[in-house]
Amino acid sequence: MVSSTNVTVVGAGSMGAAIAARLVQGGASVQVLARDAGKAAALPGVVPGAIGDPITGGIVVLALPYAAVGEVVARYADQLDGAVLVDLTNPVDFATFDSLVVPAGSSAAAEIAALAPGAAVLKAFNTTFAATLASGTVGAEPTTVLVAGDDADAKAAFTTAVEAGGLRVVDAGSLKRAHELEALGFLQMTLAAAGATSWSAGFALAR
Q: Using alpha carbons only, what angle is made at residue 71 by residues 65 and 75, rounded to the nearest 5 degrees?
A: 130
Q: Does 170 bind a copy of itself (CB under 8 A)?
A: yes
Indicate the residue among 75 and 174 with the shorter CB distance to a copy of itself.
Answer: 174
Name the residue among 129, 11, 105 with its Cα closest to residue 66.
11
Helices 66-75, 108-115: crossing angle, 10 deg rounding: 10
Indicate the residue among 78 and 207 with the shorter CB distance to a copy of itself.
Answer: 207
Whether the Cβ atoms of residue 20 and residue 39 lie closer than 8 Å to each other: no
The Cβ of residue 174 has, within 10 Å, a number of other Cβ atoms equal to 12
**Strand 84-87's sheet: what is its strand order?**
47-50, 29-34, 6-10, 59-62, 84-87, 120-123, 144-149, 168-171
The nearest distance, CB 6 to a copy of itself, in angstroms, is 28
Pairing of strands 137-138, 141-142: antiparallel
Which window, 37-45, 85-93, 159-167, 197-205, contacts a copy of itself (CB under 8 A)?
A: 197-205
The correct pick among 76, 125, 158, 186 for binding a copy of itself (CB under 8 A) is 186
Indicate the residue among 54 and 190 with the shorter CB distance to a copy of itself.
Answer: 190
Site string for a copy of itself, 41-80 (x = CB under 8 A): ----------------------------------------
The correct pick among 141, 150, 151, 163 for binding a copy of itself (CB under 8 A) is 141
Indicate the residue among 1 and 194 with the shorter CB distance to a copy of itself.
Answer: 194
Q: Which residues bind a copy of itself (CB under 8 A)?
A: 98-99, 104-105, 138-141, 170-174, 176-177, 179-181, 183-184, 186-187, 190-191, 194, 196-198, 201-207
